[in-house]
Amino acid sequence: MKNLIQDFSNHPLIPGSVLMSLSEYPMASQEKRIGKEELSTANQMGTLEILEWLRGKDILQEDASMRLQQVEDRFLKAFRTVEQKIPEIAQVTQAEEISIKQLARALFGCRLLWEYMEVLTPPERSYEKTSEGTRDLLQDLSNLFRKIVGGAWGVFFPREEFGLVADASAQFWTACLFNNRPEDMAKAFQGYFFTPYRDRFMAMDRGGARKNGVRLQDAISEHIEGAQERFITLHDAVSENIKLGLDTFFLDAAEILKKLELPPTILLFLAHLTEEVCYAFSHIDGSLSSNEHRFISYLLQQIRAACPDNETNQDQGQRGSVEDLKAVLCELDDLIGIHVVKEKVRQTANFAKIQQMRLTRGLKPIPTSYHAVFTGNPGTGKTTVARLMARIYKALGVLKKGHLVECDRSSLVAEYVGQTAIKTNRVIDDAMDGILFIDEAYTLAKQDQDFGREAIDTLLKRMEDDRDRLIVIVAGYPQEMEDFVQSNPGLHSRFTRFVAFPDYDPTELCRIFSLLCRNNELRLSSDLKIRLLHYFHLLHAEKEEHFGNARLVRNCFEEVVNAQANRLALLDVPEQNELVTLLSDDLDKVPESIQEMCDTVKGYQVACPSCGETYRWTSELNIMDAECTECGTIYNCEFGEPAYSR
């Protein structure tokens, strides 16, 4: 279920799956249920699309839809206002800009979630009668999250560590959780943190404002002079919550969600918000102590244990799912080309399978490492295979989540001294119980880049400390990756599995193009198919060291589709067949030599699978068919079946 909320890019505050799950709530007693696939799709949709879809399914009424849109518009506008001010706020407060934005997104997202629930939760279910009176479940849920956030702040900023960042971070979370209107939240979030007042605020890190001489008493002075007293008062308010344990408040929130009969996606999103807040607080001052790291690890471990995606059968977790494994291996087999890679992946899967069998029978596992080096040019399927391997390891029980976190040098290396380890640890934390995929990993070992070496050292330590929960795959060009692994003894000892991804041959490039067409409900004319065969043979023959492979095919496909669109735009009302057919002229960026070859060639001679004789490809038939000139057999010949020959 957690994959439903991983895609946060299209929804800056709340993923589409959460909105769709909440909207399903009033229909919970009816048969109109929303499936997992629809929830996953919702993460790629805009709010207007989701609301329109829900109305079309009679899941959401028009008035509720309008209220939801109005609420989101207000919160998004306020969040955008804060987002624009964050660079200035970071400069004035000396807090880390990324962490401020992460905290603002989580807090505004939390408040928008409460507003969504106010609109969509039936009143009769949002209240509970107790011996002490009527209980507002939604208000209690909001208060519990305040306790979690406040408690986390108190842990990361203890009493003895008062300073400018501590004061600013307190203002950030209280502004969001104790103001009712989003406009007030945005205004209070920035407070007085404006560039002209920067030097005055710096006095808070020097022990307070200077008291000698004549001073003007204004709002800034009052804020600075009263900051430490407010800090202590706020600590007094959250200290009891810290003693009780922040995980207990999350468990209480989970119980309220059960009483409200809300879908499990909401609890998962609440866990996600809690994780975002903790990471933001822990890194906002640019440092992370061992004690803080231990607190985060414990709290998030307790929270994740309460989420539904962790309620798995223990025996199944050890043995994996044979059915799931077969399905993933079938997807592997369906990939075009890379036969040697497929064989190596199967060998690795077989080894992991035997390892898990030994564990279930009480035998010691054979010491091994699943970390791997993928080498090859761009577009050869390295990332695709890495995703499949993550799913294979999950199916076998090697990894609990089986997700893939992709990153590169920019995701791991910071600009300033001391920041790289923090940044790298954050990415590794996201990849725990899954695979960390580092593309162009050799860029970390540049001789003139000390920060890159810091990222490597951090990575090596975590690979050792978390060897049972983390698999790392590094990828890049063959020679560069060989130099990278040899550059550090630690890398050489940990990466023992090497998988080389070959360039696609011309036939395979044609098959990839054909697959793109089928996936987009497009057909190739016979003339275009002949032209593509010549085109990819020419490109392959003239390829340079770093050949583009599938990326080259995708670029070619986009150019052909754009050319078709320009051609059809000249027609008033194109026919159905015209909309789905790509013509030879749509591939217009080709050398004249290819055009001359296409004009003279009628077809390609290939071996008939029935009689063994050669036959010629005839353009009169369906574009994927061929007819044997000897026995008359009609044979389906997608690109690569049968093999290309002149």
**pLDDT tens digits, 473-514:** 988 888 888 888 887 788 888 888 888 888 888 878 888 888
Contact status, residue 441 vs residue 481, Cβ threshold 8 Å: yes
Q: What are phi and psi of 342, to 5 degrees?
A: -60, -40
pLDDT of 305 strictly over 60: yes
Residues in CB range of 324: below 8 A, 6 or more apart: 391, 394, 395
For residue 366, give both structure tokens.
Answer: 């054979």
Mean pLDDT taken over the chain: 78
Q: How far apart are CA 506 and CA 539, in angstroms?
A: 8
Q: Which helix (H) or strand (E) holds 171?
A: helix 164-177
Q: Which of 347-361, 440-454, 608-622 has the lowest mean pLDDT?
A: 608-622
- pLDDT for residue 591: 58
For the range 350-358, what are the long-range contacts, defined as Cβ-Cβ under 8 Å and sequence gap of 24 or more?
Answer: 352/392, 352/393, 352/396, 352/398, 353/320, 353/325, 353/396, 355/398, 356/318, 356/319, 356/320, 356/396, 356/397, 356/398, 357/319
For residue 499, give both structure tokens.
Answer: 């998988």
Q: Which tens digit of pLDDT belongs to each residue from 586-606?
A: 777 665 555 554 444 444 455
For residue 613, give both structure tokens.
Answer: 């004789």
Contact status, residue 305 vs residue 149, Cβ threshold 8 Å: no
pLDDT of 188 strictly over 90: yes
Q: Which tens digit of pLDDT belongs to each residue from 430-443?
A: 888 888 998 888 88
The strand pairing partners of 405, in sequence order, are: 436
pLDDT of 215 strictly over 70: no
Percentage of the chain exceeding pLDDT 70 = 80
3-state helix, strand, coil in the chain (%, to 5): 60, 10, 30
Q: How far apart are CA 299 and CA 262, in angstroms?
A: 23
**Any idea which residue has 């505050």 for tokens?**
13
- pLDDT for residue 219: 83
Q: Which tens digit of pLDDT belongs to each residue from 31-48?
A: 445 666 666 677 777 788
**pLDDT-based confidence at 405, cuts 50/70/90?**
confident
Measured CA to CA in angstroms, residue 325 lies from 54, 404, 567 at distances of: 35, 17, 45
Before 642, cis peptide (omega within 30)? yes
Amino acid identity of 594? I
- pTM here is 0.51
Q: How far apart are CA 184 and CA 176, in angstroms?
A: 8
**Residue 615 vs residue 401, higher pLDDT:** 401
Residues in CB range of 252: below 8 A, 6 or more apart: 144
pLDDT of 201 strictly over 80: yes
- Pick from 106, 114, 108, 152: which is nearest to 136 by CA? 114
Q: Which of 136-140, 193-197, 570-574 has the lowest mean pLDDT?
A: 570-574
Mean pLDDT of 378-382: 85
For residue 393, give both structure tokens.
Answer: 């390891």
**Any idea which residue has 């104790």 for tokens?**
178
- pLDDT for residue 600: 43
Q: How far apart are CA 89 and CA 81, in angstroms?
A: 12
Q: How far apart are CA 175 and CA 185, in angstroms?
A: 5
Q: How far apart are CA 563 and CA 382, in angstroms?
A: 30
Q: Which tens digit of pLDDT belongs to each residue from 309-357?
A: 533 333 333 334 444 677 788 888 878 888 888 888 888 888 888 887 7
3-class state of residue 365 by DSSP: coil
Measured CA to CA in angstroms, residue 577 lies from 186, 266, 561, 568, 571 at distances of: 53, 45, 15, 11, 13
Residue 75 burial (CB count, 10 A): 24
Residue 481 burial (CB count, 10 A): 22
**Residue 411 vs residue 174, higher pLDDT:** 174
Q: Which of 4-18, 143-157, 242-256, 434-448 has the lowest mean pLDDT?
A: 4-18
Contact status, residue 209 vs residue 224, Cβ threshold 8 Å: yes
**Any idea which residue has 């909320």 for tokens?**
5
For residue 399, give both structure tokens.
Answer: 């990894």
pLDDT of 208 strictly over 80: no
**pLDDT-based confidence at 626, cuts 50/70/90?**
low
